[in-house]
Chain A
C-alpha cells in the first residue's frame, strides 16, 4: 500500500502554485505603489535588477516557507500513528532536499543582482561580488543564507536516508537559523531603536514563515488522509494562533516605529501619502483577512475535520495561502523602500 500513498500526496500542487504566483503579484503591486521617477543624471539600474531582485527575494522566501513547512510537518502530525504517517512522510522527503537547494540558489542570484544594482550598466565580475560581500552587510547575510540553506539540504538528504531519526526539531531549528540574517539587513530595523526593532523583525519573519509553511504542508499533504489531518490540524491551529499574534504585534511595532521616527514627515502623512505607508496598510489589511480566514477554518471547519468529515478546507486554505503570498511579496518591496 505504500506506493499508492506516495504518489497520491503529490496531487495538490495547485496550492503551492497559488502561493508562489500571489507572492509575485504582491511584488508587482508593491513595485507599482512605490515606483518613483528616475532622477535625471543618475545611473539607473536596468529592469532586470529593478524587478528581478524583488522577485528573486520573494522566491527565496517561498523556498524557505516550503522548507520550514516540511520540517514542521512531522511535529504537527505527531508520533502516535507512525504506520500511517511514515509512507506519507517518505514520499515528500525529497522535496525537503529540493526546496533548500532552491533557497540557496535564490540567495546566490540575489547576491549577484544586488552587486549589479550598485554598478548600473556594468557587467558583474566575481571580484565585484567579493567586494560587495566584503563591504556590505547585506552581502555577508546572503552568503550566510546560502551556506545555511545548503546545510538544510544536507539534513534533508540525511532525512531521506534515515527517516525520522533525524529529529524534525533540529531541521526546523537550522531552517529558522537560515531565516535570521536577511531581516536585520533590511529596512525596518531603525538605527535608533535597533535592538527592539531587530528582534521584532526576526520574530515577525520566523512566525510568518512557520505559519505559511505549516498551513501549506498540512493542507497540501494531509488533505487526502483524514485521520492524519484530524490530528494535525488542531496542532497547527494552535501554532497559527500564536503566529498570528506575533506577526500582528511585531508588524505593528515595526511599522509604527518606522513611520514615527522618519525625519521630516508626520506619521499620518507618511502612512497615507507615502509608498511605504501604503504598503504597511496593505499588509495590515492582509493580516486582518488572514485572521478572518483562520477563524473560519478554526471555528467552522475544524469540528468536522476532527470528526473525519469532508470539508471545503482546500478552498479556504487556497484563499488563505493567496493572501499570505501577497503579504510576502509586499514585504519584500517594503524592505527596499525608504519611508
Chain B
C-alpha cells in the first residue's frame, strides 16, 4: 500500500510539473513569404525588404540581422531592422549595379535558437544608387552590438573564460562531493 501511494505521489508530482511548466511551446521559425520573393526578377530595387515567418520573431535588441549583398559583394541594407510579430522589415539603400542580389537573414526564432537563411532576387536594370555597396567595417559587426551589450556592464569576458571558470568550480564541487561519503563509512 505504501509503495502504491508513493508511486501515485510521484506520478502526480511529475504530471503537475509537466502541466505547470507548459508555457507557450515554441519551435524554429521558417520563412513563409518575402517581398521581394525568392528567385524573382525586378526592374527597380525595393525600398524595404519584408520577410514573413511562420511564427513571431523575438525582437530583443541587436539579435536579428538582415543583409543584402549585391553582385559586387557590398552591403545594401541601411538602417535598423524592425520586427512586427511574424514580419521582419529592413530599409534598403537605392540599389546600384544590375545582377543577382542575395538577402541573408539571421533571426532569433521563437525557441531561442538563431535561424539563418538566404533568398535571392535579380535586378534587371541598373538602379540609381552608387555602383558599389557599402563595405562593412571589419569591426562594425562587433562594434554596434558590443555597445549595446557591454555598455551596461562595462565589457564582458571571452566565452572560454566563463567555461574555464565553471569547470574549475565544478572540479571543486566534485572533490567535495566525492569526499562526502568517506567519513560516513559505517
A residues contacting B by CB (< 8 A) are: 2-3, 6, 36, 39-43, 48-49, 52, 90-91, 93-94, 97-98, 101-102, 105, 108-109, 112-114, 116-128, 131, 135-139, 144, 153, 156-157, 160-161, 167, 169-170, 172-173, 176-177, 180-181, 184-191, 194-195, 197-199, 202, 206, 262-264, 336-339
Contacts and interface: CB of A to CB of B under 8 A. Distances in A.
A338 B107 CA distance: 13
B26 interface: yes
Given A101-B174, A169-B7, A197 B25 contact: yes
B112 A114 contact: yes
Contact of A123 (B6, B17, B141, B158): B158
Contact of B54 (A124, A125, A126, A263): A263
A117 B177 contact: no
Interface residues of B, number: 78
Contacts of B27: 186-191
Nearest to B61: A131
Question: Which of B10, B60, B157, B162 lies at the interface centre, i.e. has the most chain A CB atoms within 10 A of its CB?
Answer: B162
B137 interface: no
Contact of A137 (B68, B112, B184): B112
A122 B7 CA distance: 49
Nearest to B63: A118
A195 B23 CA distance: 10
A122 B156 contact: yes
A136 B30 contact: no
At the interface, is chain A mostly helix, strand, loop or mixed? helix
A24 B58 CA distance: 31
At the interface, is chain B mostly helix, strand, loop or mixed? mixed
A112 to B, nearest CB: 4
Contact of B25 (A36, A125, A180, A194): A194
Interface stretch (B41-49, B89-97, B143-151): B143-151
B133 to A, nearest CB: 10
Contacts of B186: 90
A185 B185 CA distance: 42
B163 A112 contact: yes
Question: Which of B75, B117, B174 lies at the interface centre, i.e. has the most chain A CB atoms within 10 A of its CB?
Answer: B174
B167 A112 contact: no
A101 B177 CA distance: 9
A128 B159 CA distance: 12
Interface of B: 6-7, 9-10, 13-14, 17-18, 21-30, 32, 54-55, 58, 60, 62-63, 65, 67-69, 73, 75, 102, 104-106, 108-118, 136, 141-142, 145-146, 149-150, 152-160, 162-163, 166-167, 169-170, 173-174, 177-181, 184-186
Given A39-B104, A144-B21, A339-B28, 14 more contacts: A40-B73, A48-B159, A90-B181, A105-B166, A105-B169, A118-B108, A137-B111, A138-B112, A157-B180, A167-B6, A176-B14, A181-B21, A199-B18, A338-B115
A43 B177 contact: no
B30 A339 contact: yes
Contacts of A112: 159, 162-163, 166
Given A105-B167, A118-B63, A125 B106 contact: no
B104 A123 contact: no
The list of the 6 closest CB pairs from A to B, nearest first, reads A125-B156, A138-B112, A194-B25, A123-B156, A127-B153, A41-B67
B22 A198 contact: yes
Given A39-B116, A98-B174, A191-B26, A131 B60 contact: yes
A81 B139 CA distance: 68
Contacts of A93: 181
Contact of A157 (B6, B160, B177): B177
Nearest to B102: A40
B130 to A, nearest CB: 17
A125 B58 contact: no
A339 B181 CA distance: 48
Given A43-B106, A169-B7, A187-B111, A136 B60 contact: yes
B108 A169 contact: no
Given A128-B156, A131-B60, A136 B108 contact: yes
30 contacts: A41-B68, A41-B75, A43-B141, A93-B181, A94-B181, A105-B167, A105-B170, A112-B159, A119-B62, A123-B158, A123-B159, A125-B149, A125-B150, A126-B153, A127-B153, A136-B108, A137-B24, A139-B112, A153-B177, A160-B184, A170-B10, A176-B14, A177-B13, A187-B28, A191-B55, A191-B110, A199-B18, A202-B18, A263-B54, A264-B30
